[in-house]
Amino acid sequence: MIAENFDYSAPNTVEEALQLIAKGGKVLAGGMSLVPLMKLRLAAPEHLVDLGRVAALNGITEDKGSIVIGSMTTHHQLESSALLRASCPLLAETASLIGDVQVRNMGTIGGSVAHADPAADYPAALLALEAKVRLVKSSGDRTLAFSDFLIDSFTTALEEGELVREVVVPVETAGTGVSYQKMLQPASGFAIVGVAARIRKTAGKISFARIGVTGLSSCAFRAAAVEKLLEGTSGSEEEIGKAAAVVADGVDANSDIHASSNYRSQMARVYTARAIQAAVSRAA
C-alpha cells in the first residue's frame, strides 16, 4: 500500500484513544474499508489511531438480557461465538456472510457500523434486532438506538472525538425465528440486497415481525410496512409474498454496474420473502 504519509498510534486504553482522536486522529478499526481508500489515496488521514490493542473494546458478554459486543470484536469472533450463536443467532449468521475469511478476521463490528457503507450487512440485522449503540467521548457516554445512530450513506450520529464503544443486542426471545438472506455482489461480496428477519408466532399467527433491509438504497432501513402486513397472518407463502412485495415501495433504489434499481427492488422483494420464509420456518 503506497498511501500518503500518516502518523500511527496504537493506544491500549479507551481514554488514551479518546485523547488521540480528540486531537484529530482518525480511527482505524480493522481497516477493511479505510485501508483500501488510503491505498487509492481517496482517504489521506494524517494520524491513524489503531484501536486494535484496546482490550476493553474487544469481546462478547451477556449482561441482564442483553448481549454486549465490544466495537473491536471481529466478524469472525461474532460468527464463531457460542454465546452469540445461542443467544442472538441472527447477528452471528449475518457476520458469517460478510466478505471472505480474511475480511472477517480483520474487520470489526464497530468499524463497520461507524463506516456506514450502504451495502454493509450488519445494519439489516441491527435494525431488525432493535440494537443499541453505546458511544463514548471524553465528556461521557451516550446510548443511541441503532436506528438513530445510522443517518445515511457513510453518515452516522458519531460526533467529533466520539467512538463506538459497544453494540448492544437483545438476548433473543425463545421461539423467535431469525434469518439473514443476501444476494451478494460477486466481486466485492457486499450485499446487492440483504434482508434480516425476526419472526415470532403466537397461537399460529405471526405476532412479532422485524425486518431490516440493506443494500437497496442509500441507507439501511426497517421495513415497517412489511412488518405490519405480516403481523396477524399465519405466515403462509402467499401472505409472505404479499408482505414482501411492498418492501421497495417508495424507496429510491440504488443503481450501479452490478444491478439496476429495478432489479435491485425486485431482488429486495425476493430476498425479503426468503428471509421471512426462513425465519417463519425456524420460529417455534
Partner 1 sequence: MATTITKPETLVGKRIRRKEDPRLITGTATYVDDIQMPGMHHACIVRSPHAAARIKGIHVKAALELPGVTAVFTGADTKDVGPVPCGASLPGLRVPHHHILAVDRVYFVGHPVAVVVATDRYIARDAADRIEVDYEVLPAVADPEKAIAAGAPAVHPEWPDNVAFHFHQEGGEVDKAFAEAEVVVKERITSQRLIPTSIETRGVVADWNTGDKSLTIYSSSQIPHLLRTLLAMMLGLPEHHTRVVVPEVGGGFGSKLNVYAEEALMGFVAMKIGKPVKWIESRRENYLCTIHGRGHVDYFELAARKDGTMVGLKLKLIQDLGAYHQLLTPAIPTLSVLMMPGLYRFKNIRADIAGVFTNCVPTDAYRGAGRPEATHGIERMVDILAAELKMDPAEIRLKNFIQPEEFPFSTGTGLIYDSGNYDLPLKKAMEIVDYKGLRKQQNDSRKQGRLMGVGISSYGEICAFGPSPATPAGGWECATVRVDPQGKVTVGTGASPHGQGEETTFAQIAADELGVDLDDVLVVHGDTAVVPYGIGTFGSRGTAVGGPALYYALQKLKEKITKFGAMLLDSESVSYSGGCCTCSKTGKSVTLGEIAGASYRAMKLPEGEAPGLEATYFWEPPNFTFPFGAHVAVTEIDRETGKVKVARYVAVDDCGRIVNPLLVDGQVHGGVAQGLGQALYEQAVYDDSGQLLSGELTDYAIPKATMMPWIESHHTETPSPVNPLGVKGVGEAGTIGCSPALVNSVVDALSPLGVRHIDMPLTPEKIWNLLQGGQQ
Q: Is residue 278 within the footprint of partner 1 (CB under 8 A)?
A: no
Q: Long-range contacts of range 76-79, CB-CB < 8 Å, 24 or more positions apart?
A: 76/101, 76/104, 76/105, 78/109, 79/104
Q: Is residue 258 within the footprint of partner 1 (CB under 8 A)?
A: yes
**Residue 247 Cβ vs partner 1, minimum distance, rounded to whole Å:** 14
Distance separating alpha carbons of residues 267 and 188, to the nearest angstrom: 18
Out of 116, 216, 259, 275, name the contact with partner 1 by CB under 8 A.
Answer: 259
Q: Which is nearer to partner 1, 143 or 260 (CB)?
A: 260
Distance separating alpha carbons of residues 168 and 119, to the nearest angstrom: 21
Distance separating alpha carbons of residues 88 and 198, to the nearest angstrom: 11
Stretch that binds partner 1, among 109-117, 155-163, 212-220, 264-272 (CB under 8 A): 264-272
Q: How many residues bind partner 1 (CB under 8 A)?
A: 21
Q: Is residue 97 within the footprint of partner 1 (CB under 8 A)?
A: no
Q: Is residue 257 within the footprint of partner 1 (CB under 8 A)?
A: yes
Q: Is residue 267 within the footprint of partner 1 (CB under 8 A)?
A: yes
**Residue 271 Cβ vs partner 1, minimum distance, rounded to whole Å:** 8
Query: For residues 164-183, which are near partner 1 according to CB under 8 A?
Result: 183
Q: Is residue 7 within the footprint of partner 1 (CB under 8 A)?
A: no
Q: Is residue 246 within the footprint of partner 1 (CB under 8 A)?
A: no
Q: Is residue 185 within the footprint of partner 1 (CB under 8 A)?
A: yes
Distance separating alpha carbons of residues 59 and 55, to the nearest angstrom: 8
Q: Which is it for the CA torsion 27, 62, 220, 93, positive or negative?
A: positive
Q: Is residue 40 within the footprint of partner 1 (CB under 8 A)?
A: yes
Q: Is residue 188 within the footprint of partner 1 (CB under 8 A)?
A: yes
Distances (CA, A) of 270 to 6, 78, 102, 205, 283: 45, 27, 29, 22, 20
Distances (CA, A) of 258 to 182, 183, 193: 14, 11, 11
Residues 268/184, Cβ–Cβ less than 8 Å:
no
Distance separating alpha carbons of residues 261 and 193, to the nearest angstrom: 11
1 exposure class (CB count in 10 Å sphere: 0-12, 13-18, 19+): exposed
Neighbouring residues of 271: CB distance < 8 A, sequence distance ≥ 6: 181, 182, 183, 193, 194, 195
Query: For residues 98-127, which are near partner 1 according to CB under 8 A?
Result: 100
Q: Is residue 186 within the footprint of partner 1 (CB under 8 A)?
A: yes
Out of 42, 82, 187, 203, name the contact with partner 1 by CB under 8 A.
Answer: 187
Q: Which is nearer to partner 1, 122 or 271 (CB)?
A: 271
Q: Is residue 142 within the footprint of partner 1 (CB under 8 A)?
A: no
Stretch that binds partner 1, among 34-42, 135-143, 160-168, 201-209 (CB under 8 A): 34-42
- In the three-class reduction of DSSP (H, G, I as helix; E, B as strand; rest coil), residue 173 is classed as coil
Identity at 194, one-letter amino acid code: G
**Residue 240 Cβ vs partner 1, minimum distance, rounded to whole Å:** 13
Q: Applying CB under 8 A, which residues contact partner 1?
A: 2, 4-5, 36, 40-41, 100, 183, 185-188, 190, 257-260, 263, 266-267, 270
